[in-house]
Amino acid sequence: MSAAAPSPERLRIVGLRSALAGPFDLTIAAGECIAITGPSGSGKSLFLRMIADLDPSQGDVYLDEIERRSLAGPAWRRRVVYNAAEPGWWSETVADHFQGATLAFARTMAPRLGLAATHLDGPVMRLSTGERQRLALIRALAVGSPMLLLDEPTGALDEQSTQLVEAVLREVIANGTTIAMVTHSPEQAVRLGHRHLRMAARHLVPA
Amino acid sequence: MTPILLTPVDLAIASVLIVLDGVLSLLLRLGLHRQLAVAALRMVVQLVLIGFILRFVFALASPLATLAVVLVMVAIAGREVAARPEQRLGRFGNYAVGATAVAFATFLTAILALTTAIRPQPWYDPHYAIPLAGIVLGNVLNGGSIALDSLLGGVVRERAAIEAQLALGASFSQAMRGLIRSSVRRALLPIINQMSAAGVVTLPGIMTGQILAGMDPLEAAKYQILLIFLLSGGSGLAAVAVVYLAAMRLTDDRQRLRIDRLTARTRGSRP
C-alpha cells in the first residue's frame, strides 16, 4: 500500500457481460492492483476469463486505449495474461513450458519463490500442487505482459511461500504491471490490493 | 481359373458349424444361442440381399446408380464415425465431420486406384468401383472414428493444458498441436499393424478370396499390396480430415477453445 497514487488508465471494461455473469464496468490504472474476493461460484473466475477473451462475452475492453476486437485473440491474450487457479501443463518436463529467454527468466525467478533449479528440469508429474502453482506463476510472469489476471495465485501455498509470492508480485506492480487478482483471503486483498472489490451474485461491488 | 461355385447344399453343410456354436451355448449356459441365431440369419439375409443389389447395379451399368450405391455406403460409414465418440459436437457436428472426411478420403483413394492402377473400362465400372469403395471405406471408417474419438475425448481431458497455452497467447493451432498429432498417430497404428502382419500372421482377405477364386498367388499378392497402399492412404486422409474439421468446430473467430460446443453422450452414468 506504499505505492503512490496510480496514474494513467491501463484497462477499461465497459458493459462486459455474458449469459453467466455481468454486466461489469471497471477501470484499472497502470501499476494498480485490484483484489477480488467473494464466495465460490460467484463468478470471479468467469470475470477474469471474460477479460482474457477465453470465454465469449459482449461489451468492450480496452488495454491502453486499444479495443480488444482490434487485436486477434492470441495477440490480446499475450497482453492480458490469465493464470488459472489450477494451471494446465501441456508437456512432460517443466522446462518444456518455457522457450528461449523465458527459461533463463524462470531460472532466476525460481529460487526467489522457494523453488530449486531441479524443479525446472524434472517432470511436471513429480511436483506438488504448490510447486506447480508457483511455476505457473513464473510462466505467466515470463510473458512480460502489461496486464496480469491472477486466479488465486497463492491458493495452494503455505504461509511462507505466500509471502515469497507476494514479495514478487509487489515488485511486479511497482514496475508498472497492472494486476487483477482473485483471492480467498481478505488479508491478502488488503496487503496487495490498491482496491478491494467483492463479487456477489455475479456482480462486482466495493468491498 | 474358373472359381469353384458353391451350391445351397454346400452352405447348408457349413451352417452345421453355427448350430454347433448354438449347442455349445446351451451346454455351457452361455445364453448366446438366440443372439447367435439372429446374427447368423441377419448375416445371410444381408449378404444375399447385397448380392442381388450388386447384380442389379452391375447389370444397369449406369454411372449414376454406381454413384448412388457408393454414396449410401459413404453415408453409413460417416454415421459410424460420428457415433463412436463419447463426446458430441453441437449442431450434428459429428455427422458433418464424419461424412465429409469419409467421402473425401474414400473418393480420393478409390478414384486414384481406378484411374491409374486398375484402369477398368470405363474407370467407373461398378464391378470395380463398388467393391473397391467398400474395402477403402472399411479402413477409412476405422481411421476416422479412432481419430475423432481421440480428438474429442482429448479436448475434454486436456482442456486445462490447451487453455493454459491459449491464456499465454498461443494460437489455437499451436495449443492443439500435441492433441492433433497424437490423434492422427493413434488412427494410423492399426494400418501399420496390418501391414506388418500381412502374410506372416494373417493372409489378408482379398488375397485369400482371389486365391480361392483361382488366381495365381503372386498376382493375388500384387492386388493385395495395391489395396493395402490404398487403405493406408485412405486411413491417413480420413484421420487428418476428421481431426482438422473437428478442431475447426471447436474454436471461433477469437481462437478460443469452445468446449461448450461439446456434450457428452447420454447413455447412463459412468463411475
Using the 3D structure, point to which of B16, B42, B60 is the last residue of a domain.
B60
Nearest to B254 among A73, A87, A89 (CB): A73
List the single residue in A with minimal CA-CA distance to B179.
A90
Contact list in B for residue A75 (CB cut-off 8 A) is 169
Asked if the model's pLDDT at residue B271 lies above 90, the reply is: no
Q: Give the count of alpha carbons within 13 A of B116, CB side only.
A: 9
Q: Does residue B160 lie within any of the structural domains?
A: yes
Exposed / middle / buried, residue A124 (Cβ in 10 Å: 0-12, 13-18, 19+)? buried
* CB contacts, 8 Å: B160 with chain A: 84, 86-89
Question: What residues make up the domain containing B188?
Answer: 63-264
Mean local confidence (pLDDT), A145-152: 96
A118-147 per-position pLDDT tens digit: 899 999 999 999 999 999 999 999 999 999
Tens-place pLDDT, residues A89-111: 999 999 999 988 899 999 999 99
Query: Looking at the structure, do residues B195 and B231 belong to the same domain, yes or no?
Result: yes
Residues B247 and B117 in one domain: yes
What does the pLDDT look like over B17-36, one tens digit per residue? Answer: 999 999 999 999 988 889 99
Q: Say whether both B137 and B54 belong to one domain.
A: no
Instruction: Examine the domain organization and report whether B126 and B39 are in the same domain.
Output: no
Half-sphere CA count of B173, side-chain side, radius 13 A: 4
Residue B116 lies in a domain: yes
Stated pTM of the model: 0.87
Same domain membership, residue B74 and residue B52:
no
SS3 B99: helix
Spacing of C-alpha A116 from chain mean position: 23
Enumerate the H helices of chain A as residue ranges.
44-51, 73-79, 101-112, 117-121, 129-142, 159-174, 186-192
Question: What does the pLDDT average to over B61-65?
Answer: 92
Task: Please state the domain count of chain B.
Answer: 2
The cell numbers describing A108, all together, are: 532466476
Which fold would CATH assign to domain A9-206? Answer: Rossmann fold (3.40.50)
What confidence score (pLDDT) does residue B102 get? Answer: 96
Band (A2; pLDDT cuts 50, 70, 90): very low
The answer to whether residues B73 and B46 belong to one domain is no
**What SS3 state is found at A25?**
strand
**Phi, psi dihedral angles at A20 (to 5 degrees):** -100, -25
Does some domain include residue B246? yes
Q: Where are the beta strands (DSSP E) in B79-124?
A: 87-89
**A100/B contact by beta carbon, under 8 A:** no
Same domain, residue pair B46 and B166:
no
Residue ending a domain, among B60, B78, B103, is: B60
Specify if B269 maps to a domain.
no
Domain boundaries, chain A: 9-206
Q: Are residues B204 and B80 in the same domain?
A: yes
- Say which of A54, A83, A88 has its CB closest to residue B256: A54
Q: Is residue B271 part of a domain?
A: no
In chain B, residues with a C-beta closer than 8 Å to the C-beta of A72 are 254-255
Out of B60, B78, B100, pick the residue that ends a domain: B60
Q: Are residues B10 and B45 both part of a single domain?
A: yes
Peptide bond into B122 cis (omega under 30): yes
What mean pLDDT comes out for the span B133-145? Answer: 92
Cell numbers at A88, concatenated: 494446465
